[in-house]
Amino acid sequence: MKKHICRNPVGVSKYTGLLLILPFAVGAVLFILYPFVSSFILGMTDYSGVGGAEFTGLRSYLDMLADSDLTQAAGVTVRYALILVPLKLTVSLLVALLLSCEIRGIGVFRTVFYIPSILGANLAVVIMWQYLFKSSGLVNQFLGVFGISPVSWYGDSRFAMLMIVLLRLWEFGSTMVIFLTALNSIPREYYEAARVDGCGRVRAFFSITLPQLRSVIFINLVLQTIAAFQEFNAPFMLTDGGPLRGTYTLGMLIYQEMFRYSNVGYANAVSWALFAAIAAVVGLMFVLLRRKGEDER
Amino acid sequence: MKKIFSKAAAVCCALALSACGSGSRSAVTPPDGKLDKCTLRFSWWGGDDRHEATLEAIELWNELHPDIGIVPEYGGWDGWTEKVSAQVSGGTEPDVMQINYDWLITLSPDGTGFYDLGALTDTLDLSGFGEDMLSFGRVNGRLNAVTVSVSGRSLFYNSDVYARLGADYPSTWDELLALGEVFGREELYPLDLDIQSGGTAWYLAVVYIQQKTGRQFISMDGTLGFTEEDIANALRFYKELEDAHVIRTIQTRTDEDGNAALYQSAEFIGGKIAGVLEWGSTVGKYEAVLGDGVLEAGPLLTDGSGSSGGWMIKPSLLYAVSKGTKYPDEAAAFIDFLLNDEQCAQILGTTRGIPASRYAEESLEASGKLRGLAQESDEQLEAVDTMTVSPYMELPRVKEYCNSAIEKVSYGTSDPDEAAQELSSSITEYLEKIKK
């Protein structure tokens, strides 16, 4: 049998492919692999940012067990993730459902809803949030219209957490876009067939839309959980982790240990612990999803 | 592919290990006594008044030394320590830096973290500084930095609000407490204290206890001087100020200002808060947001029986040169200009406090510019028996412990005795750890 040889149509050598991925490979080594490895090594030293470092092995990891600040920060981070992630997925999905309607000018609405995601927790947004949530802010004025007494948004740790959740919730654009794309890819025939069979909209949502979105919901769940566990910007800019460390996330703890207290070794060890925790949570999600899939088969 | 990955990882390991070794930084460039053509980076923090004056001084430098360019890097105090720490850690710090007192401990614990300015006296004239002034910047016998000014915190009040209420500036602790009632009637406050990066709440409480007991909170060699009882009394004093409506509670303050600095808050600018405890060297930013002459210095508080000690001074700022600079002579010449040049002194005025350099001080005195709040604060502090702030008191971790204790007492989650016990043991443990 004659062996068919596929000739390169543009006549490039076999090394061209490697050359093409070289910029990415160099970037990945410099900005991902190198920090990744050096962070692990630094986590096993007492490096303070200046001078030399001594190898301390797992001491920083053992110190974590007795660090009450870390325990508190871990609690705050988990609580934050548990509140934010389900809320954000729900809101994103509901808005995506609205924006999937075929109405005139829908592109404008989609753009407008996406804009907050571009802003992030930058200074302008923080100033806007202050105008909204400080004691004489617009939110308290609005609540006052209904006879509700002013809420201590910044001064009460429960409300401070809620304020940060609201900021991130407001930035639901990227999650919503993923849902929207998935919604648009569900064949219309499913809904038409269901309608012929007398199925209502609510039933269609639960029996067609949600099952069809399962993998996308899972992707969004994973992405948002990772982002929530890594939260730093919003509490840093809005509350500086207060009051009473009620919004002091693990991201803030790592930053402060690293840059404010020059405890570089410990900060890197905590980063790795956080990485391991996120990997464990995401791994658990994958296992549960696979098990559910097998049960359904 | 696996082989490539494992080799890359091995190279990364080697690089990472070498990066945290002491020999990772380039060798120190020795001085050659000449001023070559170059560009220097210069960083500082401060308020707008300081920024504007410094930029003007740089323009003058550029006229006098067109071959030596200066790239300014400046901003507010919040986050500045973190920024410079990261730069020093990565070896990317500016050639010339305005540094804070405690950075000598954290960034140069053995005296080798900054360039030894003692080796640059060909271009840096130190004859205008007394030995006591230079000693602030020495670590292990090496001159790591030169003091720009010595400053202390004083009390400054909004004269319009005080006049409207017919209130006098307090001169004793009791008078301060009594003002709470007068101001409270109109929902105003005679003073503000914070637990942000300034940490004025704990500072005033320390002054109060130091004045009462004569003991220094933390000694210059880094030993906790306060007893647990002293700390508990300091926290009780703070709570008394809140309860007497002299200052806002932490919760009220946070709700009203968010995370903003006091001088940027509507409450201070609008006169609801009529007093501030601030360094003489940085009070300009508070002065600038009120009308001309509105902010006035009040007396340093005493117990009324003649005891006026306890107030503190420290080198408010120092100039240092990066140990990695390639232009040590030029950097030293620029520092000399900032510290000693008469024309520069006229431009900078008292935006960094009363100059520690005799030449700059004389220049300002001759031109009648040695006045204003910074000078008043300086004179007040000279008139009392001050203590020098220990650099250990300025350490971010120590400040965090103190601010946290104040916050817990303010919110009522700890009583002063519990908070004092925790604070005392935390500080003692930490000081022992960093002095090892």
Dihedral sign computed on CA atoms, order A245, A250, A256, A262: positive
The answer to whether the CB atoms of B21 and A53 lie below 8 A apart is: yes
- B7-44 in b/e form (b: 16+ CB < 10 A) is ebeeebeeebbebbeeeebeeeeebeeebeeeebbbbb
CB B356 within 8 A of CB B151: no
Rounded to the nearest 5°, which phi and psi values hold at B121?
A: -70, -5
Q: HEC profile for A131-154?
A: HHHCCCCHHHHHHHHCCCCCCCCC
- For residue A238, which residues of chain B lie inside 8 Å, CB to CB? 258-259
The answer to whether the CB atoms of B106 and A242 lie below 8 A apart is: no
CB B344 within 8 A of CB B338: yes
What is the H or E stretch that residue B99 is in?
A: strand B96-99
Retrieve residue B15's tokens: 């690089």
Retrieve residue B303's tokens: 């117990």
Amino acid at B412: G
CB B269 within 8 A of CB B201: no
Set out the domains of chain A in order of their start, with CATH numbers: 56-296 (1.10.3720.10)
Rounded to whole angstroms, the Cα distance separating B143 from B111 reads: 8
Of A51, A242, A259, the CB nearest to B22: A51
The answer to whether the CB atoms of B88 and A50 lie below 8 A apart is: yes
* ipTM for this model: 0.84
What is the H or E stretch that residue A173 is in?
A: helix A173-184
CATH tag, B33-151+315-377: 3.40.190.10
- Suggest the residue from B196, B254, B431 to mutate for an interface test with chain A (most A CBs closer than 10 A): B254
Amino acid at A19: L
Q: Which of B35, B38, B37, B48 is nearest to B74 (CA)?
A: B48
The answer to whether the CB atoms of A51 and B81 lie below 8 A apart is: no
Nearest Cα of chain A lies from the Cα of B289 at a distance, in angstroms, of: 19
Chain A residue with Cα closest to B104: A50
Chain A residue with Cα closest to B106: A262
The answer to whether the CB atoms of B85 and A47 lie below 8 A apart is: no
Amino acid at B170: P
CB B366 within 8 A of CB B373: no
- Suggest the residue from A129, A260, A266, A272 to mutate for an interface test with chain B (most B CBs closer than 10 A): A260
Chain B touched by A50 (CB under 8 Å): yes
The bridge status of strand B38-45 relative to strand B96-99 is parallel
Of B82, B196, B259, the CB nearest to A259: B82
Rounded to whole angstroms, the Cα distance separating B20 from B272 reads: 51
First to last CA, chain A: 43
At residue B278, the 3 state secondary structure works out as strand
Using only the alpha carbons of chain B, give its radius of gyration. 23
Q: Which of B273, B281, B218 is nearest to B245 (CA)?
A: B273
CATH tag, B152-313+383-435: 3.40.190.10
Of A50, A245, A264, the CB nearest to B113: A50
CB A76 within 8 A of CB A245: yes
The answer to whether the CB atoms of A244 and B86 lie below 8 A apart is: no
Rounded to the nearest 5°, which phi and psi values hold at B369?
A: -90, 0
Q: Which pLDDT score is estimated for B24?
A: 44
Nearest Cα of chain A lies from the Cα of B72 at a distance, in angstroms, of: 22
Cα B360 to Cα A279, B145, B281, B365, B417: the distances in Å are 60, 18, 15, 9, 48
At residue A88, the 3 state secondary structure works out as helix
Nearest Cα of chain A lies from the Cα of B363 at a distance, in angstroms, of: 38
The answer to whether the CB atoms of B255 and A41 lie below 8 A apart is: no
- For residue A49, which residues of chain B lie inside 8 Å, CB to CB? 85-86, 88-89, 107
- Suggest the residue from B20, B99, B322, B436 to mutate for an interface test with chain A (most A CBs closer than 10 A): B20
Q: Which pLDDT score is estimated for B292?
A: 87
Q: What are the residue ranges of helices labelled H in A6-122?
A: 16-28, 34-42, 59-65, 68-99, 106-119
- For residue A133, which residues of chain B lie inside 8 Å, CB to CB? 258
Q: How many CB atoms lie within 10 A of CB A68?
A: 7
Q: What are the residue ranges of helices labelled H in B155-244?
A: 159-165, 173-184, 200-213, 228-243
Q: Which pLDDT score is estimated for A109?
A: 85
The answer to whether the CB atoms of A152 and B255 lie below 8 A apart is: yes
Chain A residue with Cα closest to B413: A244
CB B319 within 8 A of CB B90: no
CB A234 within 8 A of CB A251: no
Rounded to whole angstroms, the Cα distance separating B178 from B276 reads: 17
Rounded to whole angstroms, the Cα distance separating A59 from B300 reads: 48
- For residue B108, which residues of chain A lie inside 8 Å, CB to CB? 50
Q: Which pLDDT score is estimated for A111?
A: 87
Residues (pLDDT < 50) of chain B are 20-25
CB B286 within 8 A of CB B263: yes
- Residue ranges of E strands in B269-360: 275-279, 295-297, 312-321
Chain B residue with Cα closest to A29: B8
Using only the alpha carbons of chain A, give its radius of gyration. 25
- For residue A34, which residues of chain B lie inside 8 Å, CB to CB? 12, 15-16
CB B390 within 8 A of CB B381: no
- Suggest the residue from A55, A245, A262, A266 to mutate for an interface test with chain B (most B CBs closer than 10 A): A262
Residues 6+ apart with CB under 8 A from A189: none
Nearest Cα of chain B lies from the Cα of A224 at a distance, in angstroms, of: 26
- For residue A261, which residues of chain B lie inside 8 Å, CB to CB? 396-397
Rounded to whole angstroms, the Cα distance separating B277 from B198 reads: 10
CB burial of residue A108 (10 Å; 0-12, 13-18, 19+): exposed
Q: Which of B317, B331, B322, B319 is nearest to B120 (CA)?
A: B331
Residues (pLDDT < 70) of chain A are 1-11, 121, 297
Nearest Cα of chain B lies from the Cα of A73 at a distance, in angstroms, of: 15
Residues 6+ apart with CB under 8 A from B269: B263, B289, B290
Rounded to whole angstroms, the Cα distance separating B235 from B242 reads: 11
- For residue A121, which residues of chain B lie inside 8 Å, CB to CB? none
Q: Which pLDDT score is estimated for B16?
A: 55
Retrieve residue A28's tokens: 């990945």
Chain B touched by A52 (CB under 8 Å): yes
Q: Which pLDDT score is estimated for B8?
A: 55
Domain ranges of chain B: 33-151+315-377, 152-313+383-435
The answer to whether the CB atoms of B258 and A134 lie below 8 A apart is: yes
- What's the pLDDT tens digit per position in A2-41? 555 556 666 677 788 888 899 999 999 999 999 999 999 9
Of A42, A53, A130, the CB nearest to B258: A130
Q: Which pLDDT score is estimated for B329?
A: 95
Chain A residue with Cα closest to B405: A244
- Residue ranges of E strands in B122-201: 138-139, 142-143, 145-158
Nearest Cα of chain B lies from the Cα of A80 at a distance, in angstroms, of: 20
- For residue B413, which residues of chain A lie inside 8 Å, CB to CB? 244
- For residue A236, which residues of chain B lie inside 8 Å, CB to CB? none
Dihedral sign computed on CA atoms, order B110, B112, B114, B119: positive
- For chain A positions 99-138, those within 8 Å of chain B (CB to CB) are 126, 129-130, 133-136
The answer to whether the CB atoms of A37 and B396 lie below 8 A apart is: no
The answer to whether the CB atoms of A239 and B21 lie below 8 A apart is: no
pTM of the model: 0.86
Of A38, A238, A245, the CB nearest to B19: A38
Nearest Cα of chain B lies from the Cα of A37 at a distance, in angstroms, of: 6
Instruction: Kindly report whether the peptide bond that precedes residue A235 is cis, defined as omega within 30 degrees of 0.
Output: no
Chain B residue with Cα closest to A38: B16
Cα A262 to Cα A45, A257, B83, B108: the distances in Å are 13, 6, 11, 12
Retrieve residue A132's tokens: 């909204």
Do the domains at B33-151+315-377 and B152-313+383-435 have one common CATH topology? yes
